[in-house]
Each structure stands twice: as C-alpha cells, then as structure tokens.
Amino acid sequence: MMEIMEGSHAVAHAVKQCRPQVIAAYPITPQTHIVEALADMVADCHLDAEYVTVESEFSALSACLGASAAGSRVYSATTSQGLALMFEVCYNVAGMRLPIVMTIVNRSLGAPLSIWNDQQDSISLRDSGWLQYYAQDNQEATDLHYIAYKVAEDHDILLPAFVCLDGFILSHTYEPVEMLTQEQVDSFLPAFSPYQRLDADDPISFGMYATPEYYMEFRYEIDRAMQRSKKAFSAAGKEFADLFGRDYSAPVEGYRLDDADTALVAMGSICGTAKDAIDEMRSSGRKVGLLNVRTFRPFPGPEIAKALSGVSRVAVLDKNISLGAKGAMGIEVKDALYGSGIPVLDYIIALGGRDVRKKDIAAVVDMAEKNQGDLFYGLRKEVL
C-alpha cells in the first residue's frame, strides 16, 4: 500500500515487519525517530521484542552482540558519534560473524559538531567487515532492510549489515512509500535460524583469542564471505523483484549511461538530484550519466568497471574525505578502473550538510570536462 510517510517511520515499520526479537539502541539525531517509533510499537504490543534501553551506543551494540550470539534476530540504529563510539564492537560483531542489521542515518562527525548529513560515519567503518548498503530514497531505505536481513543471515554469509540513509534528507522527509504487508515480508524473510548460538545443551566458545597461526585465516574467511555476499544480494534482490516488483538485484545502477561521455558516480540521496540535473543537461545535448553505487561493501569494482567502460571521464561525488588522501569512493573507483585509461576525478561535496542543487551537479560536470577535479567542491573562500 502506498503511504506518505516520514523516512524514519517507514524504516521503523520495515524493521518491525522483519520481527527483530531484541532491539538495543541509544538516541542520537537524526536517528531518534526510528528508535522512538520502535519503542512505541513495543509499548503498544504491535512488536513483540525485548527493547533494551541501554546507557550508550557502546552498550547498545554490545547488547546486540550478546543477544545475537544467544540466538535472536537483533536490530539497532545509530549515526555519527554514536557509530564512532561503537567502533570497537563493530569489529567484534563482524569477527564473530553475527548477522546484526543496523540502520545508519548518515551524519557528519565532529569536531566541529554538526548534526547534518554526510557519509563520513559509515565510510569510516568500511574496513570493519560490515556489509554497507546505501539508499537513494525512502523506498529503497525501507526495502533494503528486508534484503539486508536476508543476506546477513544466510548461513554462507553470516555478516552484519549497515543500511545507510542520508540524515534529514531522507530520514526526516515525507515521501510516498509502498509498504509491504506482514504476510509479504514473512514470505520473503523466514524466521531467524542461528548457525550457532550460546546454548547450555551444546556449549561452544565465542570470541576466543587467536595466535598468529590462526588470525589471518579468520580475516580471509570474512573477506570470502563478503565476496560471496554479492551473489546473495543479487539473489535476494531478484527474489524481491519477482515477488514485489521493485528490483534491487544490481549492486550498481546506471542512469542514462549508455552513450554518456561524463559519468557521475555517487551514493545515497544525492543520486536523485543528480538524475534531475542529468535530465536537464541531456535536454541541452550534453551526454551525462550517473552510476549509483548501492553496495559499498562489498565494493562492486568489476561491476563499476563494466558499467563505466564506455565513458570518456568519471566524476566521483564523495560525501566523505579520507583526510590526507581523497574521498573513499574516488580512490576505489580509480582502483576499479585501473588500466582502462579513463580519468577519474574526485569531488568532495556536501560535507556537514551543505546543500547540493542541480546547478552544483552541472558545475561539477563542467569542471570534469575541463579536467579539473580532485578538490573540495563549493568551498567558501571568504571563510578560509
């Protein structure tokens, strides 16, 4: 059923339909509306879950870790400083192969304090072993939760997943969203069946220490599982498309790329603005297209190389910066295109919530065509 809903509420509703058994989360702007909505559902008996009101994000994810290891489907949500406080636990969850799904409502990191959107938070955990999915709009933000649980809990994968949506831009925006029914969700996402769990009848040890003889193999196994998750994501996306008509089976999605000279590469809500800007540029005869990266981890390098093989140049829009280097996606797209001869220009854009308009997208394309790139876009020189 199509409903006009706030992004956060659509996400909360989808999470509820996934039937998490334990939720532990700590409030932080702009994630709050999600966890408040879930708390309401539990309070009104619309959701039969244990809701652990922890004292910090660090404990939130630690409690999720324990709950998941003990055999429950688990959910949390956070952003920015909250995710930073979870850093240590994030690595642990992935290392223990616990399929927790966590919504990241993307927000910049301090200092200076900023509550507004960029994607520095989740990008900073790109190496932690969590799957990272980015939503373009609220429909996708909603649907990716069903898919994330399905991929994460697959016994061939067993990895935790971030579903990322841009703070405020998506989380606080009312958009039409087509919600599934509970029956539909149940038909897609079976009840959680843990691969292993803490159980007195079959005692096992979780999270032991490993000497140099063993550690590397654990990391290798995680990396392999990440690689395998590409197939699982495509299969889940395909099944979702067959059942409900919306297709997320591809890790990257091209828009007007077929005959493009300049290709933009971006993640998240900026893609919507970019598509509108591209339509305008196209109507004045400029050959511009977009590649939306939906799964940042695992990184779809070969898919990106294939999708961009015919373009003359690539302009990456990075809502993050690896300080002292470049934007994280710029670096990885360049790696994906290594040897192709296609120039990759990186643009650090919209950090800390700075607005991106169609004319900004057009300006980036202008610069790329003049081979100017690898810069912070839209700096206010007068305040430097």
Partner 1 sequence: MAGSGCDLFEFGHRACGGCGAALAARLILDAAGKDTIVCSSTGCMEVFSTPYPETAWKVPWIHSLFENNSAVASGVEASLKKQGRKEKVIALGGDGATFDIGVLCISGAFERGHDITYICYDNEAYMNTGIQRSGATPYDASTTTSPAGKCSLGNKRQKKDLPAILAAHGAPYVATASIAYPADVKKKIQKALETKGPCYVQIHAPCCTGWGFEGEKTMAIGKLAVETGLWVNYEMEEGKVTRAKKVVRKPVEEYLKEQKRFRHLFKPKRNDEEIGKIQAIADRNAERYGIDLKIKKD
Our CB check for partner 1 shows the closer of 69 and 157 to be 69
Q: What count of other Cβ atoms lies within 10 Å of the Cβ of residue 56?
A: 12
CB 53 within 8 A of CB 22: no
Q: Does 27 bind partner 1 (CB under 8 A)?
A: no
Binding mask 31-50 for partner 1 (x = CB under 8 A): ------------------xx
> CA angle at residue 145 from 141 to 149, to 5 degrees?
160
What minimum distance in Å lies between the beta carbon of 83 and partner 1?
A: 16
Of 5, 10, 22, 77, which lies in the binding site for partner 1, with binding defined by CB under 8 A? Answer: 22
What minimum distance in Å lies between the beta carbon of 70 and partner 1?
A: 4
What minimum distance in Å lies between the beta carbon of 91 and partner 1?
A: 9
Cross-strand pairs, 345: 315
Structure tokens at 52: 């652990």
Phi, psi (deg, nearest 5) at residue 304: -65, -45
Our CB check for partner 1 shows the closer of 67 and 225 to be 67
Q: Is 246 left (phi over 0), alpha (psi -120 to 50) or beta?
A: beta
Applying CB under 8 A, the span of 16-24, 131-139, 256-264, 289-297 interacting with partner 1 comes to: 16-24
What letter represents residue 268's amino acid? G
Q: Does 211 bind partner 1 (CB under 8 A)?
A: yes
Structure tokens at 40: 């309401």
CB 330 within 8 A of CB 123: no
Of 191, 208, 323, 384, which lies in the binding site for partner 1, with binding defined by CB under 8 A? Answer: 208
CB 143 within 8 A of CB 246: yes
Applying CB under 8 A, the span of 67-75, 136-144, 304-312, 352-360 interacting with partner 1 comes to: 67-75
Give the count of residues interacting with partner 1 (CB under 8 A).
Answer: 42
CB 148 within 8 A of CB 154: no
Applying CB under 8 A, the span of 142-150, 183-191, 194-202, 369-377 interacting with partner 1 comes to: 194-202
Which residues lie near partner 1 (CB under 8 A)? 21-22, 24, 49-50, 52-56, 58-59, 62-72, 74, 88-89, 92, 96, 198-200, 202-211, 214
